[in-house]
Amino acid sequence: MSGKPKLHYTKGRGKMESIRWLLAAAGVEFEEEFIETKEDLEKLRSDGVLLFQQVPMVEIDGMRMVQTRAILSYIAAKYNLYGKDLKERAWIDMYVEGTTDLMGMIMYLPFQPADTKEKNLALIIDRATTRYFPVYEKALKDHGQDYLVGNKLSWADVHLLEAILMAEECKPDVLSAFPLLQAFKGRISNIPTIKKFLQPGSQRKPPTDEKFVAVVRKIFNI
pLDDT in tens, 155-210: 999 999 999 999 999 999 999 999 999 999 999 999 999 999 999 999 999 999 99
The whole-number pLDDT of residue 221 equals 85
51 shares its domain with 135: no
Whether 1 maps to a domain, the answer reads no
Residues linked to residue 32 through DSSP beta bridges, in sequence order = 7
Who's near 165: CB < 8 A, 6+ residues apart? 185
Whether 159 maps to a domain, the answer reads yes
157 shares its domain with 95: yes
52 shares its domain with 143: no
DSSP 123-181: HHHHHIIIIIHHHHHHHHHHH--SSSSTTS--HHHHHHHHHHHHHHHH-TTTTTT-HHH
Whether 222 maps to a domain, the answer reads no
The CATH code of the domain that includes 115 is 1.20.1050.10
The whole-number pLDDT of residue 203 equals 97
User: Which structural domain range is residue 12 located in?
Assistant: 6-79+198-212
111 shares its domain with 71: no
Closest CA to 159 of 206, 131, 194: 194
The whole-number pLDDT of residue 2 equals 54
pTM of this prediction?
A: 0.95
